[in-house]
A and B are shown apart, each in its own frame.
Chain A
């Protein structure tokens, strides 16, 4: 018996799980630095977040969204779990993490139709949901290098919170003189904040891996860096004592994590390179806008979610360049 099908008869071998696990591998350096910086707490938060995301997806498909297929094996729920953990303070009580996982999987992902159908990045939407619902717990960042503490870890201000305070006092240079050097932040192991933000260097290694494996293209991360550096650069030149330098903005907080791993989420980012550049620059711009003028010290999550909402619109107007269309225009 011969099988009959239409062409093409071969496939690249690429798969959803290959991409998802590729992103997970790219996250490993940052994850390890996170564990080394925040110790036991980081491990507990990550384990809780991953197991809850997987469990909730399995339960929801089995009992509630029965028309959808079980896709636990493709790594997407696992990835959501890891990304959510990386966006949380590693002293967060377990019940809040469980709630966040439930929100990410049930509300943001499955209720829109499951993998590929969600409008917003599940991990980020859950983070913002938690930030708005539990502002105290979500902004009590543990100080780095308390390796055996979990919820009892001593908390301290993040570099971005210090920047915010310094901006209000108009004494950015004084603040910078008291804190660590920019390149220490770049290397990591010493910055208060969420687990995934610990080291810009580790995140950049992940970016190189993603580009090498061709899981993502350069357009989104680079345009975010350009948008953020450009806008913060203008502000810094205008008022250096109120607004921090572009490098300070790039290497602290969640900008690296967001630009490399959150904004590049396939499902919620634009389809064409042109659209991706618009999306990226706008995320960079909005991040600095919120950091500099908003109520929160950090704005990456909001910026990405806002641009997630614009993605369908961007897709409608940014179409790929069609073969021969310019020639047609000439005629």
Chain B
């Protein structure tokens, strides 16, 4: 039986152009750029200086506080400078620049591809390894993994949910990883279960990946407690709240943490990274990324070192399309459009999507005809049409009453709007204004 969530959702054209493409490595670039802020929370603190020589796996920056993540070097070479770089957010952020020399790895990293199932470490030791490897949620939000694995006091994890949904159109990296590294993922899930001290884990996969569902279901029989759940195709099922509901039937109440339902969600790529970190001593230095778009010559799933410029990935897939109009980091629904081709790959990059000129442009905005389609698709049950009107009138108090802060920015409303209204733009504006209002109010108290 396929499951799904109850409120809203859409099914955009899937366009999984790179489906079935085996994961391949690309040549090392001449230089990598490592932003210090690749995760949610405080930026990491650099512990190397200009001129230092590093190997693959050398710690470059340490976590700065609990909600932060350390960063290890993805290449061997020499630190050329610590400067700023424009990352996928569009802002200049501090980053470490490394000139790549050779490919020398720290000796403790196990580079063999042998499957290592057994783990005798205690749950605390596993957690420490995850933390040291600098793992973050690899679905896009890049929330530090170890934070989610330590529920706040009063909360107890009951079930681990692994997100293999990949509901964003175009992206296939997770799908391909599930096909090629199924056992490694299952070992990773087992390790996560041990840290959380839960006996049940469910891997949610959408029905458009029947081969992955079949393969993992077969393999999972050898791993007690892990179950594979097929899900109906519906965007944004990969959203944490939607996935928890689809799997457990419970909805996260507004203003509470997802853990209040007893569920902890981790991405499928994160589970694989956990395996590598714990069993192979390998920090998070590379990841699988989908490079795709209708004008990309060979849409591919690439294994890429972090810090590699997007340009190198596009060149590995047949070059930058001459008619390129937009370059998107992530999928077309939630990805960010980039300002330049040299934006580095970070821990949260799941895909690069190239749009041609015609795909890039928005249609002219027309009057709202109150068709209510935005209400029908909103997975949170908001009224995007009204939020856009009220935000346009700068009435932030009213916007707060319309629960704009609960918007998850999935974009279903704007995708659906027949009048091409920038509904999500207004929601984002509202969230930032109401957020400021709330902080002001808290400061007064």
Contacts and interface: CB of A to CB of B under 8 A. Distances in A.
Given A12-B415, A266-B369, A320 B382 contact: yes
B368 interface: yes
B360 A3 contact: yes
Nearest to B324: A2
Given A3-B361, A8-B334, A323 B10 contact: no
B333 A8 contact: yes
A84 B324 CA distance: 48
Contacts of B340: 2
Contact of B370 (A12, A116, A320, A323): A116
Interface residues of A, number: 42
Q: DSSP class of B's interface residues: helix, strand, loop or mixed?
A: loop
A181 interface: no
B327 interface: yes
B309 interface: no
Interface stretch (A13-21, A58-66, A150-158, A293-301): A13-21
A6 B339 contact: no
24 contacts: A4-B339, A7-B336, A7-B409, A7-B411, A8-B424, A9-B360, A10-B12, A10-B169, A10-B415, A14-B417, A71-B367, A113-B367, A115-B369, A116-B419, A217-B376, A266-B372, A271-B375, A271-B385, A323-B380, A324-B253, A324-B256, A325-B254, A327-B250, A328-B256
A117 B367 contact: yes
B371 interface: yes
Contact of B375 (A8, A10, A272): A272
A129 B121 CA distance: 82
Given A12-B416, A271-B375, A320-B382, A7 B253 contact: no
A324 B367 contact: no
A15 B241 contact: no
Q: Which of B13, B376, B418 has the most CB of A within 10 A?
A: B418
A4 B328 CA distance: 9
A74 interface: yes
B418 A19 contact: yes
B338 A2 contact: yes
A267 B370 contact: yes
Given A71-B366, A323-B254, A271 B418 contact: no
B444 interface: no
Contacts of A2: 324-327, 337-340
B251 A4 contact: no
Interface of A: 2-12, 14-16, 18-19, 69, 71, 74, 113-117, 217, 266-267, 269-272, 319-328, 331
Interface residues of B, number: 67
Contacts of B337: 2-7, 9
B369 A322 contact: no
Contacts of A8: 332-334, 411, 414-415, 424
Contacts of B315: none
Given A16-B366, A320-B378, A323-B251, A271 B339 contact: no
Nearest to B337: A4
B93 to A, nearest CB: 17
Given A71-B367, A113-B367, A269-B370, 15 more contacts: A2-B324, A3-B325, A3-B360, A4-B90, A7-B335, A14-B418, A217-B376, A320-B382, A320-B383, A321-B7, A322-B403, A323-B406, A324-B252, A325-B253, A328-B254
A214 B191 CA distance: 46
Contacts of B334: 7-8
A2 B337 CA distance: 9
Nearest to A268: B370
A157 B385 CA distance: 46
Contacts of A19: 369, 371, 418
